Amino acid sequence: MNAALTLTDVTLTHGDGPETVTALDDVSLVVEPGELVAIVGPSGSGKSSLLAVAGALTTPTSGSVRLGDVDLVAARPRERDAVRRDRIGFVFQSGNLVPALTAVDQVRLPMTFGRAREHRDPMELLAEVGMDHKARRRPHELSGGERQRVGIARALVTRPSLLLVDEPTSALDRQRGQDIVALLARETHEHGVATVMVTHDHGILSHCDRVLEMLDGRLGVHVA
């Protein structure tokens, strides 16, 4: 089975000359389908930059980024846009929901972009994340954990091969945080998604298949 995500010798710098800042420093990472990888590290260590590069939001200064058989660095902008839209799901810290839309319409939203593609059923996804009974509720009627669950369902509706998750427990209490990451792990394993999650919450790491640590833009094995 081919790796879902492969980063090879990736460097990302900002600025020029003495003002140059290195956000990622020779980072290599392979994530397999059905694997949940957590990235831990202090603020400013490069975790968000890693997600941006992996998600084709930022082009690295050097190195290779591949999603399956697609070279995201060499791809044309239109191809990168299509890959990001069709094959990558994003889960944001706060859910990042549209205020005017109901939960089920939030999940349907990615289905409205681009050409017709295979999708998962929005109501079935809401049922999987335990939110089908609140399908007609809007974000202001949902708790933080419920908004996160809707955000996860929305990220999965296009059957992505890669799921990128940014601090999913930052606004949740301990139990809700555990529930959200257990849900992410289940979706990852049952549907063969490659998931990369950045987090400060060491209490949720038992749900992950692998834990890596970022320090000063470098990626290494996490030592508990």
Tell me the CATH number at 67: 3.40.50.300
Q: What is the pLDDT of residues 26-85, one digit of tens each?
A: 999 999 999 999 999 998 899 999 999 999 999 999 999 999 999 999 999 999 998 998
Amino acid in position 134: K
Q: How many domains does the chain have?
A: 1
Q: Is the pTM of this model over 0.85?
A: yes
Beta strand 194-198 pairing with 162-166: parallel
Q: Return the closest-CA partner of residue 166 out of 52, 58, 88.
A: 52
- In angstroms, the CA 150 to CA 205 distance is 22
Boundaries of domain holding 33: 5-221
Amino acid in position 128: E
Q: What is the pLDDT of residues 166-203, one digit of tens each?
A: 998 887 888 888 988 998 999 899 999 999 999 988 99
Structure-block tokens of residue 72: 């995201």
